Each structure stands twice: as C-alpha cells, then as structure tokens.
Structure 1
Amino acid sequence: MRFREWATKIMLIFLLFATLILAVFAGKSAKIENNNAISNPEVIAWSEYPQAQLQSAKNPEAKPQIPIKPPAKKQKVVGLYRTTQAFASYKPRYLITHVNPTNYGERYAKDINGVTLHNQPIIVIHETGNSASSAVNFFQTPHDNENIQASYHALITQDGTVVYLIPPEKRAFGAGNSVFNGPNGEETVKTNPNLPPSVNNFAYHVSLETPPEAWGNDKAEYHSGYTEAQYQSLAWLIAQSQVPDERITTHKAVDRSRQKIDPINFDFDKFFNLLHSYRQRLS
C-alpha cells in the first residue's frame, strides 16, 4: 500500500515537471515568433498584398485588351532637316500649362492693310528676367491692357525642363515693337492699329529662365549665364522645327526700342554646336 502511494506521488511530480517544461518551451517559442514579427514588419506588410499587375493577370474575369488600330499614315512633309540619334537619346522633362487668352492670339494671313503675308517662320530666343514661375503667373493673369499683354510659346527652366505654354500655330506676344533683319531685308507685320508692327505674326518665341542672381534686376547687363541643361533643351526643342539657322535670332536683335538686351551672355557657338548634333540638313 505504501509502495503504491509512493509510486503515485512520484508519477504526479513527474507530470508536474513535464507540464512545466512544456510550458517554458511553448512560451519561448511564442516569444521568438513575436520578436520576429516586430523586427520585420515590412516583410509581413509586403506579403499581405499581391502586386496589382499580378492580381490583374490572375483574374479570370479580366477581358483581353482590344488592339487599337494606328491612324492612317499622313503624307510626309519634305523638310530641310532630320533629327539625329543624339536627339532621340536626349529626353528632357517637360510640363504643359495654360496661358490666359488675353495674352496670345491668332496668326493672321493678311496685315492690317489687307496685304497677304508670306513671311517664313523665325525663332526668337528670350530670357525671363525673373523666375520661370513668375513668368508663368504673369501669362496666366488676364490683361485687358494691350500694352502689357505678353507670352512665349515655351520656356526652359534652369534644370532644363521644357514648359509648353502656347501651341505654335498661335501668335504669342513676345516682341512688341520689333523687326527681323534677314537676307530679304526688314520683315515686320502690323496687325493692330493701336500697336507698332512686330515679328509676332511669324515668330516662335522661346525663353530661358534667368539665373537667380539676376532675378528682378531690369538693369542687369551681365550674369552667370545659362545652364548646360538649358542649352541642351533649347537645341532639342528647336531641332524639331524646320527653321534654318539664319532665321534663329534673339529678342535683343529684333527689338526696335533698343531697350531689350536678352538673352544676356547667350553662347551662340555652344547652342549651334548642340543644335547641329540634334539635327542634320538633308542633302
């Protein structure tokens, strides 16, 4: 009898120890799992959600895309230039923004006297005189006064971003009292009886953002110049046109008031070297 009681006590003690050992190991295991969950939350977060494209691919109800037919090919316009591989490789950042309609207009087929116009396009290079955002804000503000209405077709920021403002088929108000002196003599068009003649009717106006140290300084005659990115983006933009080199000019050159001096410190050699690397004349 005593032996049976002693054996029973031994068995109970053994079971208690076994239960305690199992509890300790279970607790450690749970603690390790919890520690792993806390130390690597990003792993769990990513694994909970499949990528959208994989989810779409596995969706049995997803409908196959219908191929879009390409538009009919238009007859190619024979031009003077073709773009190069260097042009294709350069991909500047770009933005498209709006300009208030009071600050631009239509291109006219006839001048104020009814004479049919045959001016070939020119490109006029400007600088903003202030920050690019300041220029855009001005162009987006309605101006009823014809004497202060102004705009460019595009401008290029310090980092080379091309900001498209007005479609090229529209007339930007970039040079008020102006004339282009080319191989055919003076070219200018009067379209408004209240304003002097200008090149605006046949000009594409593009502006470079002025370096920050010269912002707001109307009397500045010198500054640090334009960035490499600005020259590259300007050449890239103009390379898309068929305007010949001899019809690319500056605001200073076309201005009749002799008050405009922009773009200041413009390096034509650098610009034309880049332009010629982005487009080549057809033989």
Structure 2
Amino acid sequence: MKLNWYPGAQQRRSPHYNERPPACRPSLLVVHCISLPAGEYGGNYIDDLFMGTLDCQAHPSFDSLRGVRVSAHCLIRRNGAIVQYVPFDKRAWHAGVSVFAGQESCNDFSIGVELEGTDTTSYTEAQYQALAQLTIWLQQQLPALTSERIVGHSDIAPGRKHDPGVAFDWNKYFALIKQE
C-alpha cells in the first residue's frame, strides 16, 4: 500500500493493534457503527475506548467495556470528520470472531471503519460522503478491495453483530463509490 494514513484524517495512534500475518494485505472493508453511550453523539468516549483510556465509571453502560481492547482503522463522525487510529498495513481489532468467504479471522485481512451512529438511526449525508471518499481512496491503494469485498459487521459475524444496521443505505453508498 502506498500510504498507511488517509490524508484527510486526524491521526490518533491507538495502542490496540498488531502486525498482520506475513504477506497479508487488506482485501476486505468492514463497515461498523458505534456510539458511546448508545445513541449519544459527540464527545470523546469513542476516542477514549479506541485509545484504551475510557473511564468505565463515567457512564453505567461502560462497565461492560472494562478491560476491552478494541480499535478500528477509522471512525467517521456525524459531521463527516475522519479519525484514523491504526495504519492500514496493521491489524486493528474490530471484527472479533468473524468469517468472510470461508476465511476466518477477518481482522487479518480487513480494514475496519466505524460510523458514529446506531443500527437504527439514519446516518448523515456527511458520513456517506466521507465514507465514499475514503473507500475510493482505499480502492486506489488496494486493487483487491472491490465492491464485492465491502461488507457490514453483521455480514461477517451474523447473529452476533447487527451493525451498521437497517439504517445504513447500502444502495446510496454503492452509488456514491461508483460515481467517481
């Protein structure tokens, strides 16, 4: 990959990543959603989670996050701002137990992008535009990352995960990445 950091992103270097297996290049894009607390936007809680600094006493729902070590390559805020936590050539810890096309451990070969949101709340136009621009840039860097290899977290962890959920407009997103 030519660049490991997206030029339009704010860089925050999460400690929650490791090396990909030898000769493994990203070939899958996984779209997620997150909000902390659930349904609340803005603030620093997502950032704190991915950086390993979340105060689990700050909200009752955070108790279940105690000791969790998780990250995504990127987060797209409601206003379309992109924060990148892990370089694309490294393995972020976003997919968990997962399988795509018979291949397990999707973190090994995927890029994880979180949208600030919930499974059931509409995403913003700014988020769709930012995700489309990021996707097009990634596809230019990684020819194996075709539209057929873009999935939701629910697709690689069915029954366990539901994001990005029914609120995500896949048709709109795919139309945006095909326009460029």
If the length of structure 2 is used for normalisation, what is the TM-score?
0.76
| Aligned pairs, number | 153
Residues 24 and 109 of structure 2 are in contact (CA less than 8 Å); yes or no, is this contact kept in structure 1? no
Offset of 1:148 from its aligned partner? 2.4
Matches within 5 A, 1:139-154: 139-141=50-52, 148-154=68-74
C-alpha RMSD of the superposition: 2.5
1:234–1:151 CA distance, 2 compared to 1 (3 A): same
Structure number with greater CO (CA < 8 Å, separation at least 6) is: 2
Cα deviation, 1:30-58, whole Å, max 9, x if unaligned, reads: xxxxxxxxxxxxxxxxxxxxxxxxxxxxx
Greater helix proportion: 1
1:161–1:142 CA distance, 2 compared to 1 (3 A): closer
Q: Which amino acid aligns with 1:105?
A: N
Cα deviation, 1:144-179, whole Å, max 9, x if unaligned, reads: x9x822100001000000111110011000011000
Look up the match of 1:17: none
Question: For residues 81 and 136 of structure 2, what CA distance do their matches in structure 1 show?
Answer: 16
Question: For residues 13 and 138 of structure 2, what CA distance do their matches in structure 1 show?
Answer: 22
Where 2:172 maps in the other structure, the secondary structure is: helix
Look up the match of 1:252: 154
Look up the match of 1:173: 93
* Runs of 4+ residues over 3 Å off in structure 1: 117-120
Gaps of 5+ in 2: 55-64, 140-144
Q: Which amino acid aligns with 1:250?
A: G
Offset of 1:200 from its aligned partner? 0.2
Give identity over the alignment, percent. Answer: 34
Structure with greater Cα Rg: 1
1:233 equivalent in alignment to 2:130: yes
Instruction: Give the alignment partner of residue 106 of structure 1, picking from 3, 13, 19.
Output: 19
Instruction: Give the alignment partner of residue 103 of structure 2, picking from 187, 190, 206.
Output: 187
Look up the match of 1:126: 32
If the length of structure 1 is used for normalisation, what is the TM-score?
0.50
1:276 equivalent in alignment to 2:178: yes
Matches within 5 A, 1:42-121: 94-99=9-14, 101=15, 103-109=16-22, 121=27
